[in-house]
C-alpha cells in the first residue's frame, strides 16, 4: 500500500521565490499554471480523475479576483500558483474558472494520480495557514503575504514581525502484543458510526518539550492505560486537514489489560492479523480510510503477520 499525499513532484524553488523580480516574472510567464481553490476544496476535472489547471494566459482575469495567490513551485519548469476564490459563492467561483468542479480532496484522492493528490494537499495546507494568520500575533495588525506566500509580515512599520507556516505534529501508533505462544495481536480503537464499525490506530498531538517517542508513550498511557516499549518509527505523512503532519510508529505492550479514556477512545479491542483481515473482508468492520497513515500501519501489520 502506498502512503497518500507523500509524492509531491514539484520543485518548491525555496531560494528563488525570495527574489521578488524573479517571482514577478513567473507571474507573467505564458507557461504559468493556476490551481483554483475554494473554501478548502480544489478544482478537479469533471470525471474527478485529475486536477483541473488553468493556463495563466487564458485566465488572467482570475488574478483580479483572487484573495490569495501562492507560488507552489516549478512543475517541469512551469510555475504553478494556487489562487483562492473563497470570497465568492460557489456558483460565482465556478463561473470564474469555467472548467471542472470543486471537491474536497479526501473524497476524490483515491481517483487521482498520487503526484496530483500530493500537490493538492500542499496547496490546501498553505491556504489554511494564510486564512488563520491574517493578523500579526505580536501586535494584532494585519499581515501580508511575501515570498510567494511562504511567509507573512506584519504591515505595522513599528513591528514588521515575520511568521512562517507551522504544522501541528501528531504521533499515530499501532500497539502490538507479541506473546511467547500464540499469534501477535494489535490494539485498535473501535468506533461505532452510522456507517458501521470503524477500527483505527491511536493518535495524539506532540506537546512542547516532548520527543516523538515520549509522545507515543504518554498518549498510549493516557488513551488506553498501557505502558509501551520498543517504539519504532515507520513513516510520516503530510496531513493538511487542516494543519498536521502524522508521524507513524509501532510500539509493544507486555500487557493485554487496557483502560480506556472514553473521552478519547470510546472502545478498543485486540485483533490477530487473521481476525482483522476476515472481519474487514466480510464487512463486519471497516478499517481507517485508505488515504490515511492509520490504514497504512494496519495493512502493513496484517501483511507481516498473516
Neighbours of 144 (CB within 10 A): 12
pLDDT-derived band at 213 (thresholds 50, 70, 90) equals very high
The span from the CA of 18 to the CA of 238, in Å, is: 24
Lowest mean per-residue pLDDT among 66-70, 134-138, 145-149, 269-273: 66-70
The topology (CATH level 3) of 16-132 is: Nucleoside Triphosphate Pyrophosphohydrolase (3.90.79)
Whole-angstrom distance, CA of residue 262 vs CA of residue 268: 10
Contacts of 270 (CB under 8 A, 6+ apart): 177, 185, 186, 187, 256
Q: Whole-prediction pTM value?
A: 0.93
Grid cell in block for residue 111? 481517483
Rg over CA atoms, the chain: 22
Give the pLDDT confidence score for residue 139 in this predicted structure.
97
Query: Residue 231 — very low, low, confident or very high, per pLDDT cuts 50/70/90?
Result: very high
Q: Please give the pLDDT value at position 263.
A: 86
Domain ranges of the chain: 16-132, 168-305
Model confidence at 195: pLDDT above 90: no
The whole-chain average pLDDT of the chain stands at 95
Retrieve residue 267's grid coordinates: 472502545
All three cell numbers of 178: 507479541
Residue 256 is predicted with a pLDDT of: 97
What pLDDT, in 10s, does the model give residues 39-92?
999 999 989 999 998 888 778 788 778 889 999 999 999 999 999 999 999 999
Which alpha helices (DSSP H) does the chain contain, by range?
A: 20-27, 90-97, 105-108, 114-132, 212-224, 273-281, 293-305
Q: Check: CATH 3.40.47.10 for 168-305?
A: no
Q: What is the pLDDT of residues 265-299, one digit of tens each?
A: 999 999 999 999 999 999 999 999 999 999 999 99
**Which pLDDT value is given to residue 274?**
97
Give the bridge partners for 168, in sequence order.
244
Query: Using one digit for the tens of pLDDT, what is the confidence trace for 164-193?
Result: 999 999 999 999 999 988 899 999 999 999
Model pLDDT, residue 59: 80
Amino acid at each position: 500500500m502506498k502512503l497518500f499525499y507523500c509524492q509531491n513532484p514539484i520543485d518548491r524553488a525555496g531560494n528563488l521565490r525570495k527574489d521578488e523580480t524573479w517571482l514577478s516574472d513567473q507571474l507573467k510567464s505564458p507557461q504559468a499554471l493556476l490551481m483554483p481553490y475554494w473554501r478548502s476544496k480544489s478544482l478537479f476535472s469533471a470525471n474527478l480523475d485529475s486536477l483541473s489547471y488553468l493556463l495563466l494566459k487564458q485566465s488572467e482575469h482570475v488574478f483580479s479576483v483572487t484573495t490569495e495567490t501562492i507560488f507552489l513551485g516549478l512543475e517541469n519548469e512551469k510555475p504553478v500558483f494556487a489562487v483562492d476564490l473563497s470570497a465568492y459563492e460557489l456558483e460565482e467561483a465556478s463561473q470564474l474558472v469555467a472548467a471542472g468542479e470543486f471537491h474536497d480532496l479526501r473524497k476524490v484522492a483515491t481517483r487521482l494520480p498520487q503526484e496530483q493528490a500530493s500537490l493538492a494537499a500542499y496547496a490546501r495546507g498553505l491556504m489554511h495557514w494564510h486564512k488563520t494568520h491574517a493578523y500579526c500575533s505580536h501586535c494584532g495588525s494585519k499581515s501580508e503575504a511575501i515570498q510567494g506566500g511562504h511567509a507573512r509580515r506584519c504591515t505595522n512599520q513599528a513591528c514588521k514581525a515575520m511568521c512562517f507556516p507551522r504544522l501541528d505534529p501528531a504521533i499515530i501508533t499501532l500497539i502490538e502484543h507479541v506473546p511467547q505462544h500464540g499469534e501477535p495481536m494489535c490494539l485498535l480503537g473501535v468506533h461505532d458510526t452510522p456507517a458501521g464499525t470503524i477500527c483505527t490506530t491511536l493518535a495524539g498531538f506532540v506537546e512542547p518539550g516532548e520527543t516523538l517517542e515520549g509522545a507515543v508513550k504518554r498518549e498510549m498511557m493516557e488513551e488506553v492505560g498501557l505502558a509501551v516499549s520498543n517504539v519504532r518509527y515507520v513513516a510520516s505523512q503530510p496531513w493538511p486537514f487542516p494543519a498536521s503532519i502524522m508521524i507513524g510508529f509501532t510500539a509493544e505492550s507486555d500487557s493485554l489489560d487496557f483502560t480506556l479514556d472514553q473521552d478519547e477512545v470510546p472502545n478498543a479491542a485486540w485483533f490477530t492479523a487473521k481476525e482483522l483481515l476476515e472481519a474487514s473482508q466480510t464487512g463486519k468492520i471497516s478499517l481507517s480510510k485508505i488515504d490515511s497513515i492509520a490504514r497504512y500501519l494496519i495493512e502493513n501489520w496484517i501483511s507481516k503477520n498473516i
